[in-house]
């Protein structure tokens, strides 16, 4: 007969008994740890869900340019950010304002942000004026106002018409009294940093302010009085010099010749003024039809200076207009426009010989004259 069964009596049975016990413990621990991990994940997910309910957590996704208009309050900016998909809610934005270590000040302008951006990060960018996206517009010397407007429109993405309308607000442009409300010639050519949210009027005011600085720096009015010319007449001469000469020394020489001809009652016969009268750009000379145009700007027909500047001159030509070189010359012609070579003469016969040199240059350079 067999006795009572005892696993310890059999070494193999005892081994398998212990193994089963160990496996059971491991399984129990696995279930316990797994449960803890599951609970932890659920708690973390709940926390993230709570945190992101009104706000995005990351640094953002796609670049977006956001324009803050002039006069917008800090609180209004929140709605602008929401409309541009930058922040998830105005609630998150307002909380970021409250949590900021200092008072938040947001200047008007255009800012580079990202969509789906953490509100606090967005606020920190907007609070720094260095982050405003600025636009530089370079206006070369000797451009007409309409030419300037074309460059401004391209550089700022504002329509040409908006500058034309601002130009008509002469009382607001900041013109000097001696301009008598005539802006042509006073829109100083320079490189302007116009920010990202300027108005056309503000840009034109920047130009007239720069003009005023240049006038003061070179004592333009005082020097004009020294040569017995009004500052406005000197500005007209400067505008002609921009089109008739390339080198500073030649500008001074031609300025002296212009004053000589005016003093002797001679017509200026400047092709630059005739081209302006005919609204022609990119040419160096004129034809008979253009010279016959009845216009106060046609200095082949009318004595004296044209009624206004024909472009917006720079500092070099303005300085030349009030510091003319005295001479007995009465004529000038640029014989080599590429090199800027200019010939001067005292008599018409000498001048006609020099003109033939210019005409020969034109024959060798088709399409440039």
Residues 154 and 79 in one domain: no
Cα-flanking dihedrals φ and ψ of residue 172, to 5°? -105, -5
Number of structural domains the chain divides into = 4
Picking from 83, 104, 131, the residue at the C-terminal end of a domain is: 131
The answer to whether residue 158 sits within a structural domain is: yes
Q: What is the pLDDT of residues 187-235, one digit of tens each?
A: 999 999 887 678 999 999 999 999 999 999 999 999 999 999 999 999 9
Residues 279 and 210 in one domain: no
pLDDT given for residue 28 in this prediction:
53
Residues 319 and 358 in one domain: no
The answer to whether residue 64 sits within a structural domain is: yes
Please state the separation of Cα 321 from the chain's center in Å: 29
Residues 89 and 126 in one domain: yes
pLDDT given for residue 207 in this prediction:
97
Residues of the chain with pLDDT under 50: 1-8, 16, 19, 23, 25, 30-31, 33-51
Residues 209, 223: Cα–Cα separation, whole Å: 20
Residues 243 and 260 in one domain: yes
Query: What letter does residue 128 receive in the DSSP assignment?
Result: -
Picking from 131, 150, 171, the residue at the C-terminal end of a domain is: 131
pLDDT given for residue 39 in this prediction:
41
**CATH number reported for the structural domain that contains residue 75 in this entry:** 3.30.1490.480
pLDDT given for residue 134 in this prediction:
80
Cβ contacts of 90 within 8 Å, gap of 6 or more: 78, 79, 82
Residues 274 and 339 in one domain: no
The answer to whether residue 194 sits within a structural domain is: yes
Nearest Cα to Cα of residue 208 among 191, 193, 187: 187
Residues 116 and 138 in one domain: no
The answer to whether residue 14 sits within a structural domain is: no
Picking from 104, 131, 158, the residue at the C-terminal end of a domain is: 131
The answer to whether residue 52 sits within a structural domain is: no
pLDDT given for residue 295 in this prediction:
97
Cα-flanking dihedrals φ and ψ of residue 88, to 5°? -80, -30
Helix orientation angle between 315-322 and 231-244, rounded to the nearest 10 degrees? 120
Residues 188 and 146 in one domain: yes
**CATH number reported for the structural domain that contains residue 357 in this entry:** 3.30.160
pLDDT given for residue 31 in this prediction:
46
pLDDT given for residue 14 in this prediction:
55
Residues 211 and 284 in one domain: no
pLDDT given for residue 22 in this prediction:
52
The answer to whether residue 211 sits within a structural domain is: yes
Instruction: Write down the pTM of the prediction.
Output: 0.72
Cα-flanking dihedrals φ and ψ of residue 180, to 5°? 55, 40
pLDDT given for residue 20 in this prediction:
57
**Domain of 333?**
327-368
Residues 332 and 320 in one domain: no
Residues 179 and 145 in one domain: yes
Residues 81 and 156 in one domain: no
The answer to whether residue 16 sits within a structural domain is: no
The answer to whether residue 193 sits within a structural domain is: yes
């Amino acid at each position: 007969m067999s006795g009572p069964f005892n696993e310890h009596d059999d070494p193999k049975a005892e081994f398998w008994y212990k193994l089963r016990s160990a496996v059971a413990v491991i399984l129990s621990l696995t279930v316990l740890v797994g449960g803890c991990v599951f609970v932890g994940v659920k708690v973390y997910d709940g926390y993230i869900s709570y945190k992101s309910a009104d706000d995005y957590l990351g640094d953002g996704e796609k670049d977006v340019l956001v324009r803050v208009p002039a006069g917008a309050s800090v609180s209004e900016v929140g709605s602008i950010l929401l409309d541009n998909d930058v922040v998830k809610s105005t609630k998150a934005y307002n909380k970021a304002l409250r949590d900021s270590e200092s008072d938040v000040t947001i200047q008007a302008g255009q800012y580079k942000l990202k969509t789906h951006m953490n509100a606090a990060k967005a606020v920190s960018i907007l609070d720094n004026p260095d982050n405003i996206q600025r636009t530089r517009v370079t206006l070369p010397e000797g451009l007409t106002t309409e030419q300037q407007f074309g460059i401004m429109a391209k550089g700022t993405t504002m329509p040409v018409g908006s500058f034309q309308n601002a130009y008509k607000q002469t009382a607001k442009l900041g013109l000097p009294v001696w301009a008598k409300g005539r802006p042509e010639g006073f829109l100083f050519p320079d490189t302007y940093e116009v920010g990202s949210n300027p108005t056309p009027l503000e840009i034109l005011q920047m130009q007239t302010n720069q003009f005023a600085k240049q006038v003061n720096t070179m004592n333009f009015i005082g020097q004009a009085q020294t040569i017995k010319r009004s500052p406005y007449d000197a500005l007209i001469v400067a505008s002609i010099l921009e089109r008739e000469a390339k080198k500073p020394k030649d500008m001074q020489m031609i300025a002296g010749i212009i004053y000589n001809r005016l003093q002797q009652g001679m017509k200026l016969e400047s092709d630059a003024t005739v081209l302006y009268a005919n609204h022609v750009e990119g040419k160096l000379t004129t034809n008979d039809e253009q010279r016959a145009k009845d216009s106060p700007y046609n200095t082949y027909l009318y004595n004296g200076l044209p009624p206004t500047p024909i472009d917006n001159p720079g500092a070099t030509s303005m300085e030349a207009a009030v510091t003319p070189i005295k001479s007995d010359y009465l004529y000038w012609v640029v014989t080599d426009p590429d090199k800027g070579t200019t010939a001067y003469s005292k008599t018409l016969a000498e001048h006609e010989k020099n003109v033939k040199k210019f005409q020969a240059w034109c024959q060798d350079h088709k399409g440039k004259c």
